[in-house]
Amino acid sequence: MRFTKSLLLAGVLNLTLPATAFAASPDWSVYAQVLQSVKAGNKHSTPLNLVDYSALKKSGQLEAAYQVIKAFPVETLANREEKLAFYINAYNILALKMVLDHWPVDSIKDAGNLLSPVWKKTAGVIGGQEVSLDAIENEVLRPMGEPRIHFAIVCASVSCPDLRTEPYTADKLNAQLDDQVNSFLGNTQKGLNDDGKIIHVSKIFDWFEKDFKAVGGIEAFIRQHRIGLSISAIKADIEYDWSLNSAGE
């Protein structure tokens, strides 16, 4: 079952609540412990934050973090920042869970197949409803008009943006999202590589091109976060590595 319209509608309606409305936030302390196991490293010549999935499976911490989002009353999310932070964290928790539910795998894509892609499979339950990664991304997060989400949600792969080592929170969200964009565009192996003739960028910018129109388009977005780039064409042609962002290999 996909993310239901009633659940999504409840979240959208909550965005209209006044600023004085009750602010809701889950206890992210267990998820913060999960993220403490994420360490900077290198894989396939790409610097990134790596996840020790074997240790994570043994610890049981991720299951505890999942139970937090599973039981959380999403209708209490009172504003846009709370909703963005919650569903970004939820996506990342469920992506990790998808890997562990099918462990061992070499890629998160191995959890699905051609007829049933991993993105469309049920990843877990939120607010009493079964959800997929695709539903969270395309039915909840993208309609909120925040292109920086594409540098915060992590598909457990080498070429994805790095998994942040702290949970997203409403009070720090803007700074956290900016930091994620700057970090990703500063990674020449998967984010942006300016050779003086062409600014090569991640295929994320191709896949979600229309999401950047609200901020002036891809070029305006990139130049806002990276100054001093050459005056050249921009091509979203950096090869995407779907290998698992796993440590210990």
pLDDT tens, residue by residue, 142-201: 999 999 999 999 999 999 999 999 999 999 999 999 999 999 999 999 999 999 999 999
Query: Which distant-in-sequence residues (6+ apart) come within 8 Å of 24 by Cβ?
Result: 73, 76, 77, 78, 82
6, containing H or E segment: helix 5-14
Cα–Cα distances in Å, from 54 out to 82, 153, 187, 216, 247? 31, 21, 27, 43, 9
169: CB partners within 8 A, 6+ apart = 25, 28, 85, 176
Residue with tokens 């049933």, as numbered in its chain: 116
CB atoms within 10 A of CB 243: 17
Contact status, residue 10 vs residue 155, Cβ threshold 8 Å: no
CA 9 distance to own-chain centroid: 22
The per-residue pLDDT for 249 is 59
What DSSP string runs through 165-202?
SS---GGGHHHHHHHHHHHHHT-TTTTEEE-SSEEEEE
User: Is pLDDT larger for residue 46 or for residue 5?
Assistant: 46
Q: Write out the two tokens for 188.
A: 């020449």
Q: What percent of the chain has pLDDT over 90?
A: 86
Q: Give the distance, in angstroms, between the CA of residue 16 and the centroid of all CA atoms in the same chain.
A: 25
Summarize pLDDT for 49-79 with one digit per residue, the tens.
999 999 999 999 999 999 999 999 999 999 9
Q: Report the predicted TM-score, pTM, of the whole model to 2 decimal places.
A: 0.91
Using N-to-C axis directions, what is the helix angle for 80-101 and 61-71, rounded to 10°?
140
For residue 104, the Cα-to-chain-centroid distance in whole angstroms is 22
Q: What is the DSSP string of 73-112?
A: -GGG--SHHHHHHHHHHHHHHHHHHHHHHT-S-SSGGGGS
Q: List C-alpha distances in Å: 195 to 198, 203, 229, 232.
A: 6, 17, 10, 9
Positive or negative, the CA dihedral 193, 223, 205, 16 is positive
Query: Which has the higher per-residue pLDDT, 12 or 132?
Result: 132
Q: Which two tokens stand for residue 71?
A: 């039981």
